[in-house]
Every structure is written in C-alpha cells, then in structure tokens.
Chains A and B, each alone.
Chain A
Amino acid sequence: MIETRQLTKRYGHLIAVNEINLSLKEGDVFGFIGPNGSGKTTTMRMIATLLAPDYGEAYVCGKSIYNDPREIRRLVGYMPDFFGVYDDMTVIEYLEFFASAYRINGPGRRKVCEEKLELVDMAFKRDAMVNQLSRGQTQRIGLARTLLHEPQVLLLDEPASGLDPRARIEIRNLLKKLGELKKTVIVSSHILPELADVCTRVGMIEKGNLIVDGYVDEVMRKARQQIMLQIRVKENMEKAAALLEQHDLVSHVDIVKGTIDATLKADTFDYSSLPTMLISEGFQLTLFREEEVNLETAFMSLTKGLVQ
C-alpha cells in the first residue's frame, strides 16, 4: 500500500530525511517513532504529496507521488501535527464543508458526517462552535475529518500529543479499530509507549535515518537475543557484581538502584548455572528474574550505540 524508495529531503545542509525505504501492507499500523526534529513530519508530508522530495520515490496503492498526486490525495487521509480549524463554524458545518470538498454530496452527506462524529465519540458536540472545543476534542474532530472520504491510507502526525491520558487511550482504541478495518496507518509519535500496543509494525527514525524497522514480534525477537537478568542480593552487592562480570555467560553488568542488571552474551538462553554459582559463593538471593521484554526495552537494546 505504501512504498518508499530512498526518499530524501534536504533543507540546505540539513538532511531532514535520508534515503528512507518503507514497505507497508494493507492492515499495517505502522508506529513511526523518533524524537522531535527527526524527520517524521517531513516524511509524512512527502507521502501525502504536500512536499516534493529531493530524491527517491514513494508510491501509495501503486500510484506515484510524482505522477498521480490528485489520485493519492483521494486515497489518503492526512492529519497534520498542527492544523487549524475554521473557528467560526460549528462542528457539523465544519465536517460537511470538508465532506463536500471531497465531493460527498447529496442526502448521504449528513449521515456520513454524523457517522464519523460517532466514531470519534464527539456526537454530543455536534452543534458546538469549533473554537469552543478543547485541544483533545479538536484533535478528534480533525481525525473525523480525515476519515470522511473513507481513505485507504491514513497518515496521522502525532495525533495524541497534548492530550490527557484518557484521551490518549481513546485515540489508541480508535487506532485499533482502524487497523481492524483493514486500513493502512502511519502514526507518528515522539513517545514510544504511546504506540507500543496498537502497532503491528514499528520504525524508529533518528536524524533522518530509519534505524529500526520491522513487525513488532520481529523487533521483539531481535531484542530478545540478549537476555537481561535482574538480580538482588542481601549483602555485598559490589562483590556479587564483580563475580558476575567475570562469568563466562555474562557480557556486562550495571548496578541500578540496588539491583544488579546483568546482560548475558548473545545467543545465551540457559542461565541456570548463575543462581547456583551465587548461592554456592554464600550470597543470599532476594531477587532473580529475567527482565520482561516490551517494545520499549527492545528499542533501548536495539538502538544502543546508534543513538547518542
């Protein structure tokens, strides 16, 4: 559905997006993660045909951004990171205006608008003025607008930024719904946990480079290649840490907040000799467990050394 080849954008000497290759299938919800200024918005604008790349290609549903921008705009719903609303309109007027701009006319139009309002849980604000909505409500109206023309592909730029925790959860549920509707979604964020459990795919961008990209379970598996153990002993923590450091299975050891974090060497899965060793040396174990791998820790371990 979305395919980019060496997509590149420069601003003077700054390379905002550097040869990004992406390939997303139908139903993929792609979490596009990176700190502020890493090039997420720039990438999405290029895919949305709003910004011309300096180099490279991008296709949406097989259509090239150079040859069929109009067709792509019909297929894509893009929600910018900052977008204005016509604050002199009511919510329903605003949606009907855009519906009509997408050439949805006739008696069905009002129904489509109300359906989308329902979907984003904003039906109760139907006749409110747009400028009297809260930030989160405006964001949801923006999302409803993006969905009006039933786009196959959704580009959502930081949809959850500035929202309270409850609204974030609602946005997340909405994303899940969209994935179930077989839409292809790119959703960006500078905070990882926000996207961790709704995405099927994740990519991490840093200074314009896509440094990690893959399906969630794939990323997890890669991260799991190095197991990290959390160990706590009653006394002589430093001594235990030194002992572990010298052990054949252990690659390195950190002490964090009274816990020894021991990272095992690559492809080491059987670590049952470690507790035995510690106990035989006379240490009293109070905690010994494998750290749970979630998307966040996976990223931390995968990007170690890549990100400074």
Chain B
Amino acid sequence: MYGAFALLERSLRVDSRALSPHLARLGLLGAIYFSLCYALTTSFMFGAPGLRFFQGIAYLDATFMTLLGIGFFSTSITEEKEEDTLGLMLMAGISPLGILAGKSGGRLWQSLLLIAVQYPFVMLAVTMGGVMHSQVWSVTVALLAYMVFLAGFGLLCSTLAPRSQTASVWMVIGLLIYFVVPSVAVSWSISHTTWLLNQRGTTPQTTLFRTLIEGIGDICVFLQMGKILTTGFRDTAWSTQVVTNVLAGVACVALSWLFFGVATRSPSTEGGSRGLVTRNRQLSPFYAGRTWINPFVWKDFHFVSGGMGMILVRVVYYGGLSLVALAIENKNDPYAMSWFGTIFFLVWFSVVVDAARVLSRSMQDEVRGQTLASLMMLPRSANGIVYSKFAGAMLGWLPGPIIGLIFTIVSPTMREGIEQMLYEQNGVNGIVVITMLILYFALIPHYAAFFALYVRWGAVALAIGMTIATYFVLMMGLSICLMLASGTGPINSAELLLFVISIVLFFICAACHIGVMLRVQALGSK
C-alpha cells in the first residue's frame, strides 16, 4: 500500500507541473466568466439569467472534462509503458492495484479541482435566480459520476493499449459511442413516438426493446443535464445516468486490474510503427521507395500521414461517406436530411481533425524522439525544414478536402445552401460568414501544431478545446463591446462582429506559425 502512496504523491507532483490541466482550468475560468457576461447581457431579453448562466457552466464543465479526460486518463499507464518503468514498479513490490490507483488517483484529483474551481460562480448563479439548489446538486452528482466513468474507461484503455496514442484513439471512439448512440436512440424514439406507443404490451420482446430505446438516452451526461436544467425539474439526483456511469467506471477499473498482468507483459515500442508503409517493394504497392529530392516531404508523407496506403484508406472513407450521403439525400424526408446533415458535418469535421492530427504528429514525433537537434544541425533554414515537413504531412491529408469539396459541390442541397448564403441574408454578407467559418476550422490544426510542441499527448483535443474557448471568448467579448457601443450610430453589428472575429482569428493563425518556428528552434538547441 505504501507503494501506491509514493506513486500517488509523485504523480501529483509531476502532473501539477504539466501544462494541460492548468490550461484547461484557465480556459474554463475564462469561458465561465464570459458565459456570465453573456447571461447578464441577454437576460434583459429572456429572463432567468441564473439558469442560463448555470447551463453554460454545466455544459462547459462536461466539455472540458471530456477533453481533459481524453488527454489525461488515457495516458496514465501507457506513459509508464513507454518509459519502460512499469516493470521497475512491479519489481519494487507495488501491486497492480496500487499502480492503477496511484497513477489515476492524482489525475482524478486534478479533474476534481476542475469542478471545484468554479464553485463561486455556481453560488453566483444561484443568487442570480432561476436555479434551484436541487438542480445544482443533481448536476454536480451527474458530473462526478461522469468523471468516474471517464477515469475508469481511460484507465482501461491505457492498460490495454500498447501506446498512449492508441489509448487516446480508443477512448475517443468509446466516448463517441457514449454520446452518439443515446442521441440517435432518443432522436429515433421521438420520430417514431406513435409506433412505439402502439407497441405497448404486445410481446415481451417489443416491451424490452421499447424500454431499451427509451432508457438508453438516460446514460449520457449531456442528455441528462438537459433534463435537469429545464425549469421545474424535480427528480432525484440519483438518476439512471449516475448509477450506470459509476457502475461502468468501477467495472472498467476491475477489468483493468484483471487484465493488468496480461496487457503489460509485452514491451510497448516493439515492432514497426510504420502502419501501411512497407519496407519491401515485393510485399505490397505501399513501398516507401527512395528518398525524394526534398527528404522532409518524403518522410512526413510516408511516416506521418501514412503514405499511399493511408491515402487509399482516406479515399475509401471520405468517398464512402459522401456516396452514402448523396444516396440518402431527399429533401422531402426530414429524417433522411438530418442524417445527411450529420454525414456532411462528419466529413468536414474529419478533414479538420485529420489535418490537426497529421500536423501535430509531424511536430510531436520529432520532440518525443529527440530528433530536432539533428534536424536543426542541417545546413538548411529552420523554416524550410518545418514547412517541408508540414507539406509532406498535408500531402497525405489531401484526399479529404478534395473529396469533401466535390461532395459539397455535387450535392444539390449544399450547393443551394451556399448559393443562398452568398446572397445577403438578414443583412449579413455570406462571404464574411464563410470566411469566418473557414478561419475558425483552420484554427484547430494551427493550434494543434503549436501545442504539439508543448504537450506530450492530446494536442488535438487541446486544440479543439482551445479553439472553442477562443471562439467563445471572441464572440462574447466582442458582442458585449458592440452592445455597449451600439448607441453611437447605425452599424450593421452582426456583420461587423463576424468581420472582426475573422481578423482576430487570422492573426491568431499567423501567431501560431511564428510560435511554431520559435519553439522548434528553442527545442533544437536544448
């Protein structure tokens, strides 16, 4: 038991020096502050500022917790595997359970601080009116239960996966299922209400099906918070969501314990991590071949973006999604259209996340492998090296945006939508809107490349979180400014707002370029 405490103490000390939890707390505080300002300025129109404010806090909490959890819990065991220290701990007589508890306890504590940090604001929300204590209590319990689930699930992924990267991918997939399946079930049961009602009591199977479909929506924390935060909520705090999430978390810890021995026996870095790139021409068509004239482009194309093999995978993925979407596109069926919209969003979101992933890996691999000094020692400009690397990584990414663009142009719905946007709508120039949207999504890969030089893991998650936070801060901050300034004369405030946001986003992207260059040079001389 002593070993577990030693581990816990060390992980508390080491983790409190890590950047990401502090950034997350800072981001959350900033976001909450702006949410407060927003609630105050809009309450003149809608009333119940306390509830609106508290809603903001609750959803922000859950979002930040998710992002932090992915970067944080999924690395707890894998980082020891990667540094080959797990064996040492076991030899030092620390039991597997001790390691699991010690490694995740510190992180759980950090995440608890994340909730604690905004307690004064919650009190403020209550005094502002519109929120009941029972709602605050229920949301807190729901969030804590969700955190137990996150910690347990992350620990399980971390125990089973060979590397942190794999673990965080598994965790993202698991969480997507956790969010998407309940939402789909709920939306399906809403659109089939009458059919479901007619099934009542016909056969045990259909009853079971109905209970499942209706009950599955209760496990997701976002849906549960939606229920809690409606006016007139009077249920108990110990909801299905709380019970299932805590049980799932505990079950995951138990499974981690069970599989700890099996999963940690083999070393983590063994075997090539070349993905689909083969060493040998005879083995497959995805042969890396000889270095090109620009070796950095060659290297990042093959070893970061995945080479020809991954290009094929991307073509199949994006092409498949686009074809499915085009096939179900039918304007007379709102249900089909909602799926169409979801796939459209998924395609473009994948494009953005993929860009963020390849760019961050292009940097992170060098940092983790301590290879930057060798690169900076070359008689070439640092700019040339870094941008060649980015170009190589983006070369493999290209199928996504190309297929996405074709999809967008070919689909009548999207084409019409864009044409409509280009005409002035509600006094807002469509080009401004589109520019702002593009810059907003472009910010994610920019942040990802930049943060990859600072954090060991989870640069993409951090980048998404920071992009949302940036947008939130800009939107709230500028709209407050505009509201205060609107007495001065007739200005088209919405358009001006978007225009200013675009400019600021553009400058943040530019700052990321400069930041990456400075950081690469600094790391190269370390």
Contact = CB atoms under 8 A, between A and B. Distances in A.
Given A82-B370, A87-B369, A97 B298 contact: yes
Contacts of B274: 88
Contacts of B369: 84-87
B272 A88 contact: yes
A45 B525 CA distance: 8
The interface residues of chain B, by DSSP majority, are classed as loop
Given A50-B377, A73-B378, A131-B269, A97 B371 contact: no
Interface stretch (B139-147, B289-297, B318-326, B432-440): B289-297
A100 B378 CA distance: 11
B279 A90 contact: yes
A48 B377 CA distance: 8
Interface in B333-375: 365-366, 368-371, 373-375
A127 B274 CA distance: 14
Contacts of A85: 369, 371
B269 A87 contact: yes
Interface string A109-149: 11000000000000000010101000000000000010000
B194 to A, nearest CB: 56
Nearest to B372: A84
Nearest to B299: A97
A70 interface: yes
A102 B299 CA distance: 15
B504 interface: no
A101 B288 contact: no
B300 to A, nearest CB: 11
Contacts of B120: none
Given A88-B273, A90-B279, A97-B299, A70 B373 contact: no
Query: Does more than half of chain A's interface fall in helix, strand or loop, or is it mixed?
Result: mixed
A73 B303 CA distance: 26
B130 interface: no
A93 B369 CA distance: 17
Interface string A30-73: 00000000000000010010111000000000000000001101
B292 A100 contact: yes
A86 B294 CA distance: 17
B376 interface: yes
A89 B374 CA distance: 16
17 contacts: A50-B373, A73-B378, A74-B379, A84-B366, A87-B269, A89-B299, A93-B288, A93-B291, A97-B298, A100-B293, A100-B294, A100-B295, A100-B298, A101-B375, A127-B279, A131-B269, A145-B374
Interface of B: 269, 272-274, 277, 279, 288, 290-296, 298-299, 303, 365-366, 368-371, 373-381, 524-525
